[in-house]
Structure 1
Amino acid sequence: MADAGHSEEANTTTETATGPEAAAFDYDVAIVGGGPTGCSAGLFTGRYGLDTVVFDRGRSSLQRCAYLENYLGFPGGIDIETFYGLIHDHVEEAGCDLVSDLVEAVEPAGDDAAATANAAGPGFAVTTQSGETVTARRVVAAARYGGDFLEPLGDDEMFVTYEYDGETRTKFDRDYADIEGRTPIDGLYVAAPVSEVNVQAIMSAGQGARVGRSVITDHRLERGYPEDLARHWDWIRPEAELADEAAARDDWRERFDSRVPDDCDRSEERLRELREADVERQREMYVSDETVETRAERGRERLAARLGFDAGSDSDSDSDAE
């Protein structure tokens, strides 16, 4: 059984009812910023099944922190190096590519590099400091410090001017994106910098998750899901709750159909494909007790490996023996 969140539907190439098959890109999603914000967004898009790359810019506000003591789940706090190692392990486990390089420019993909993203159509070219370029259908800006790499997109509304020491300077407008990260440019999302959100690591991670879900929602809309069915929830439940799987599947189909608007312009065939993909995704949310235990053990082993000790060791016994 596939892991919950890894939807096979996400990677199919069936033509949607809203337009022709999308052009091929290197990635579905490119995320600029490998801190809590970007990794949290990548965790959601990667687990859903979207091909995602996370660029770790190497400069993060969190790296200026001496020690992290207010991130839930670490009662004794955690050092920054170990925390970064854990969040990077997590996005890679979710299927994301992690690239340690600085993104210098995000431009419209296509032949006319001077055109704006809206004029050139969907898709972006992401170029790094090392000179490598990849294309992506969607880009998430998740770097708190600055947004200069977005200047090639040509939208002056991204930036505001201010006076400093007698000089007029320009900076990225922290209110450019809406609360869910969407911007006026199709396919561009901003998770950081955002006003009053990126001031604590745990808040930044929450905003990254919000934006990651926005990306998934828009992907599902593009695939043809009606608006009321486009949002995605990433969770797992015990298989024991499925007393009658056949009945549950029928209920999910009925619930799907009840939320399709009367004026929906999707074909019956396409709605049936989407409904069955959605039913299968919901089925994958339920896992056996054995699977839960296997995943729990793997989780402990991965954490132990990062912390540098054996997950099967008895720390109390070791202490007594000293």
Structure 2
Amino acid sequence: MYDVAIIGGGPAGSSAAIFTAKAGKKTIVIDSDQSVTKRAWVENHYGTEGITGPDLVALGKKQAAGFGTEFVTAKATKLTAGGGAVTIETEEGTYEARHVIIATGMFADVAEHSGVRTKPGTEPRIKTIIDCGPDGRTNLANVWAAGTIAGVSMHTIITAGDGAQVAINVISELNGERYVDHDVLKA
């Protein structure tokens, strides 16, 4: 069983995975490889002067993998929560995790098929989002939402930050105390 399963490998999902894996949580990202970021040219992302969407996505995945995140290419179809775990059904097989973060961008399918409450989107071209709290919690036990699907602006820098924020909340829940991840320069 994984500590954290993240559905979606775009900026929100991979950013969440960087934090959970770096915190020592066994992390898997289930990614259908449909991120809209893969069609973008990005000049407004802090820390880069300009980068293609595919390069940004690949860099985020590489960084998360460097901390031990496992990636699988599959489309998640349904979540079932119970007994302190969440079962993730995909077209390729089944996975189980203590917590799940849905970071599927514009796609609400898995949420809608799983009983996760949704509501009309707030961004242009975003039809449906997950109805979650400011911390990312949904109505389904141990299921969280991050990024565009959670109602934040679909700019990569914002979705990546939201993925990190939700990951910190999940790690804090797993640890039973507030988690902080700050590295310092070595003298």
1:205 CA drift (Å): 0.4
Q: Deviations over 1:15-52 (max 9, x none)?
A: xxxxxxxxxxx201100000000011111111101100
Taking the aligned partners of 2:113 and 2:87, their CA distance within structure 1 comes to 10
Q: Deviations over 1:207-233 (max 9, x none)?
A: 001000000111122xxxxxxxx1111
Unaligned runs of 5+ in 1: 1-25, 109-119, 163-170, 222-229, 239-287, 290-322
Q: Say what the alpha-carbon RMSD is for the aligned residues.
A: 2.0
**1:40 maps to 2:15:** yes
Match of 2:133? 178
Taking the aligned partners of 1:161 and 1:79, their CA distance within structure 2 comes to 30
Q: Deviations over 1:295-314 (max 9, x none)?
A: xxxxxxxxxxxxxxxxxxxx
**1:28 maps to 2:3:** yes
Contact 1:107 1:150 in 2 (8 A): no
Where do 1:295-314 residues align within 5 Å? none
Q: CA separation of 1:179/1:161 partners in 2, compared to 1, >3 Å: closer, same or farther?
A: closer
Taking the aligned partners of 2:165 and 2:72, their CA distance within structure 1 comes to 23
Taking the aligned partners of 1:63 and 1:38, their CA distance within structure 2 comes to 14
Match of 1:277? none
**1:86 maps to 2:42:** no
Q: CA separation of 1:173/1:145 partners in 2, compared to 1, >3 Å: closer, same or farther?
A: closer
Instruction: Please list every run of at least 4 consecutive aligned residues from structure 1 whose deviation after the TM superposition is greater than 6 angstroms.
Output: none
Q: CA separation of 1:220/1:102 partners in 2, compared to 1, >3 Å: closer, same or farther?
A: same
**Aligned residue type for 1:44:** F
Contact 1:148 1:172 in 2 (8 A): no
Contact 2:137 2:145 in 1 (8 A): yes
Match of 1:144? 105
TM-score normalised by the chain length of structure 1: 0.53
**1:106 maps to 2:68:** no
Return the structure number with greater relative CO, CA threshold 8 A, min gap 6.
2
Taking the aligned partners of 2:178 and 2:32, their CA distance within structure 1 comes to 30
**1:121 maps to 2:83:** yes
**1:217 maps to 2:172:** yes
Where do 1:130-279 residues align within 5 Å? 130=92, 132-155=93-116, 158-160=117-119, 172-174=128-130, 176-192=131-147, 193-195=149-151, 197-221=152-176, 230-238=177-185
Instruction: Pick the structure with greater CA Rg.
Output: 1
Contact 2:2 2:96 in 1 (8 A): yes
1:149 CA drift (Å): 1.2
